[in-house]
Structure 1
């Protein structure tokens, strides 16, 4: 059995989960992938009365769902809301905007409904502007989200200074529906909720392939067993092995490194996050931070050069935290870990029809908690028979990215360009 990665969430998890072991003889829906997307889809399907089985290749939490920073952000990371309507048309664009904008509420509502203990804190999410141009953009964006009924407002320079103690920021967008969670405890809580509603969840149970048989499917497990299913959902993020190989090749995998420091003193924590809101700014090489329940400072970043990146980037991220937040001392690193995010070419989530009664979903683009809540729900709707035109996330043709194996090189080049852009912008300001 593969050794689990040492993450902050593995060290501090309070939840537990007992996987199923008895394979059913037949199920309505087989779900490949036991991350946020797959388990959320399973949750909604089980509540709708469908027999559901989730198959996770490794232990729950060994994919991106257990290796992120726990930000719950109901927004797009790399796509402007106006551009969404320009690309999809007003009707489809409006549907997607409303769906994505409600993502954080969907997460916290489910947590409350199922009593999941995961340090859930719906304190809001701060998106500070590093330049005056960014501030004007965020002011317009906040107004746009308000017209859609979202609890989003714009903070001026003095207000964001009080929220972060950082003088660099010119203003900020605040979405009061955002917040933070302990992602592994949330994931384990989702799995338990699926079981409570009659579904099954199997871990260390990879799927090698799925084959069309008659009016349904036969799911072939890597251990040689198989079972029939009426429908199949592929929820495997950026993975490219086994049954996931086709879906994984439609996105660019971005390896992200996360760092947690030793706990900060209460005075420093109150200075940099008085309302305990997570922060993610507008710089190309964005700066993020949040606190956990014990005042550990959590941040992340990507490496332009992957060799030795974990140790090197851990030091770099902590040094940046100390510098940006004017910490009295460079905090001691507690743990560094890494995960992979899937980025689609147009930075939008999408679902794919991969056969009769078979669907796949991908494209959280760095918004993997709130977006997966909506992606999983949409996939469940597709299985339950909602017409394609009425699905809030667009159904797209599945296309492999050319030279997919080289995409990490392109991502590294993009990161270098982003850092240069930030440096040049900073020098002008």
Structure 2
């Protein structure tokens, strides 16, 4: 694709691991298909448990959504503690609440402990409310998390205006456990430390066939290689194909588009996100934004379902930018890019284990950086111990979405309708 339509601002650090050739031969303990955050986190921790691990990445490390996302590290799930306790019961619900609360810590502690070359700011995430209904929801979320000792607080209209510099918010909610990173640097550094731990990482190795013979899984690649492994983890998320029948039909892939301004002039930069928080708003088709390490404003949101064909496909984000920050009308948009994300019908991550030694994880729901980092460690712990209590989410059967072939058409229509409704709530 031409550079203007896939031109992120994120950077691989100079310390990025060199690509490794795929070496067949004797069986390995674990083959992980997918070299994003989930796959690399699982690989790192599995290697440190003593497993021989091979990662297969169809493209290059960081080429998918793991390296192209907005770099917001947000703890929690779409659902708050009371909902999780009600729907999963006291025991499982409590496990999920505690796990959800820990996911941002997993990222920032890894960056600190491993001395990763990853630009970051950990001053929190703001959920910005543009209606009274959204403000009431923020107050309920604040009450639930404050009761559990989380470092959170409600923001008044004056406070959110000071923290964001944006127009149109009635208030909001600040979660100081959150922060922002360079996602490409983070994914690249995960690959580097995984490689240092003994993980073999092969790029441009798309897995095309998966089967089992004589107690071992056999994985064939597009290049004609065949690997054998005791266990296989599918960490392909929105890039899931037909390797495991029915899995791709359990998710709806969506495109998340992003833009980045030129570096902001000093007089404007001082009043825009002065403390460096990330922001997501409360609209039906939300936008999210943050500053980058080099002083740009980065803003993202849902894009068209088809691949972009011109700069006009990012126009809805440029309109959102100027709605929030009219003073940026003279600042150019220098970068535009997109990545593919996956939505599950219940807005929760799904863990599947259709056969012993075969697992798949799908569904990030906008919190993938922290969620998949933390979940990778748990999956590795489960491989090492066989103890299902390592897994915060219950293992579920693969249930394809009915009429999946029509689902994306419906989602596209819903997005268009929601954009219309949002326009009336300016």
TM-score, length basis structure 2:
0.93
How many angstroms does 1:314 deviate by? 2.0
Relative to structure 1, the CA distance from residue 349 to residue 310 in structure 2 (aligned partners, 3 Å threshold; closer, same or farther) is farther
Matches within 5 A, 1:175-190: 175-190=175-190
Match of 2:51 in 1: 50
Q: Secondary structure at the match of 1:280?
A: strand
Alpha-carbon contact 1:359-1:379 (below 8 Å) kept: no
Runs of 4 or more, structure 1, over 6 Å off, are 2-5
Of 399-408 and 25-34, deviating more is 399-408
How many angstroms does 1:381 deviate by? 2.4
Match of 2:32 in 1: 31
1:208-230 Cα distance to aligned partner (Å, 9 max, x none): 12212233312222222212211
Match of 2:235 in 1: 235
Match of 2:104 in 1: 104
Q: Which runs of 5+ in 1 are unaligned?
A: none
Partners in 1 of 2:425 and 2:326 — Cα distance?
A: 21
Alpha-carbon contact 2:13-2:117 (below 8 Å) kept: no
Relative to structure 1, the CA distance from residue 401 to residue 372 in structure 2 (aligned partners, 3 Å threshold; closer, same or farther) is same
1:309-364 Cα distance to aligned partner (Å, 9 max, x none): 65223233123212212325342111211111101110011200021121111111
Partners in 2 of 1:107 and 1:180 — Cα distance?
A: 10
Match of 2:325 in 1: 325
- Does residue 302 of the first structure (1) align with residue 302 of the second (2)? yes
Relative to structure 1, the CA distance from residue 397 to residue 330 in structure 2 (aligned partners, 3 Å threshold; closer, same or farther) is farther
Relative to structure 1, the CA distance from residue 306 to residue 206 in structure 2 (aligned partners, 3 Å threshold; closer, same or farther) is closer
Alpha-carbon contact 1:146-1:152 (below 8 Å) kept: yes
Partners in 1 of 2:323 and 2:107 — Cα distance?
A: 33
Q: Secondary structure at the match of 1:249?
A: helix
Alpha-carbon contact 1:240-1:249 (below 8 Å) kept: no
Alpha-carbon contact 2:238-2:341 (below 8 Å) kept: yes
Match of 1:65 in 2: 66
Matches within 5 A, 1:134-153: 134-153=134-153
Partners in 2 of 1:159 and 1:278 — Cα distance?
A: 15
TM-score, length basis structure 1:
0.92
Of 240-249 and 163-172, deviating more is 240-249
Match of 1:407 in 2: 407
Match of 2:219 in 1: 219
Partners in 1 of 2:2 and 2:304 — Cα distance?
A: 27
How many angstroms does 1:168 deviate by? 2.2
Alpha-carbon contact 2:350-2:361 (below 8 Å) kept: yes
Of 330-339 and 374-383, deviating more is 374-383
Partners in 2 of 1:10 and 1:424 — Cα distance?
A: 34
Alpha-carbon contact 2:10-2:182 (below 8 Å) kept: no
Q: Give me the CA root mean square deviation.
A: 2.2
Alpha-carbon contact 1:205-1:223 (below 8 Å) kept: yes
Matches within 5 A, 1:407-426: 407-426=407-426
- Does residue 74 of the first structure (1) align with residue 81 of the second (2)? no
Q: Which runs of 5+ in 2 are unaligned?
A: none
How many angstroms does 1:424 deviate by? 4.2
